[in-house]
Amino acid sequence: MYLESFQAWGEATRQRGVPLWRIVLEYEMHQKGRSEEEVWRRLAQVYAVMRDAVETGLREPRQTPSGLVRDTGKKLAHATFHLISPEFTMLLAYATAAKETNACMGRVVAAPTAGASGILPGIYTFLARHHGVPERTIYEAMLVGAGVALIMERKASIAGAVGGCQAETGTAAAMGAAGIVYAFGGTIEQVFEAVALTIMNMLGLICDPVAGLVELPCVKRNGAAVVIAAAAAQMALAGDTAVIPVDEMVIAMGAVGAAMDTRFKETALGGTAATPTAQAIAQRIWVNPNVIRREDPPE
């Protein structure tokens, strides 16, 4: 099975002289009984939902009744100070806006999960708008990302409740980093290095949603994850390596997730969720929900 490991995927790709996405496309056709045309059509539909999540997040108020989500995407989109470049700030804006659309019960693509649903829309929107990457290449990058997620799910996990936030936002960031490198013509090795570098830099990240709501730190982490994905892709495209093979990094992620205390696996008992302020917010939300008002900030 080609998608059991990055090594097997890479070998199959080289032996057959096909791009990485071709193996994933064939897997999808075989598993779902779909024609190639149907797979491309569905990719277009998925991409449209992702773009819409970004647009909606940037256009409409993105505030949740809990007060934990308050227009992060729009604040970034209208920022006047830019640490690196205005485009880079927009990468964060796109990712957080899409994730806020999810927090506000809008339509998103859970790729790989709802908690991490801003990362890929943010990256693909960034590639299309700021680098002119054509839609067809983005669909191919989506297939490459799907291959990454398949292997990570099999060898580690993609669920925060199983492996911590490294499994959710970490996997999405790895999918996105692979897509960036692919879109810019990186080699198979560079795509895999970007995945390894992303995992290396997200290893150990816990899942600690305040009050058990997939809002905080989730929106902020979607923003931070695209930065790590971009950094990993940049390093890989520059010819840098993770030194540790990508398959070993995936196994390491799975081992870290398995060793993680249950407080850090979406139980809202540790990390950010266990801070006094988060506990007070949880008390306010769950014990006396009537006091929650939109104008009632969590600070």
* Least Cβ distance, residue 161 to ligand SF4 (angstroms): 8
> Min. distance of Cβ 174 from ligand SF4 in angstroms?
14
Closest CA to 21 of 44, 47, 48, 3: 3
Residue placing its CB nearer to ligand SF4 in the complex, 76 or 205? 205
The minimum distance between CB 117 and ligand SF4, in angstroms, equals 9
What is the dihedral sign for C-alpha 134, 139, 144, 148? positive
CB 41, min distance to ligand SF4, A: 29
Report the residue number, 10 or 160, with the smaller CB distance to ligand SF4.
160
The DSSP symbol for 206 reads P
Closest CB to ligand SF4 among 10 and 257?
257
Provide φ and ψ at 68, rounded to 5°: -80, -20
Q: Which is nearer to ligand SF4, 7 or 275 (CB)?
A: 275
Minimum CB separation of residue 99 from ligand SF4 in Å reads 8
Q: Among residues 193 and 215, whose Cβ is nearest to ligand SF4? A: 215
- By beta-carbon proximity to ligand SF4, the closer residue of 140 and 266 is 266
**C-alpha span between 62 and 57 (Å, rounded):** 6
- The CA–CA distances, whole Å, from 148 to 27, 145, 250 equal 13, 5, 10
How far apart CA 102 and CA 97 sit, in angstroms, is 9
Q: Which residues pair with 232 in a beta bridge?
A: none
| C-alpha–C-alpha distance, residues 75 and 97, integer Å | 10
Three-class SS of residue 287? helix
Minimum separation from the CB atom of position 114 to ligand SF4 (A)? 8
> Which residue, 62 or 221, has its beta carbon nearer to ligand SF4?
221
Q: Tell me the closest approach of the beta carbon of residue 246 to ligand SF4, in angstroms.
A: 21
- Name the token pair of 103: 């927090």
Q: If we measure between CA atoms, which residue out of 142, 167, 172 comes closest to residue 154?
A: 167
> Amino acid letter at 108?
V
Tell me if 102 sits within 8 A of 114, measured CB to CB: yes
Tell me which residues touch ligand SF4 (CB under 6 A). Answer: 115-116, 160, 165, 168-169, 207-209, 214, 217-218, 221, 266
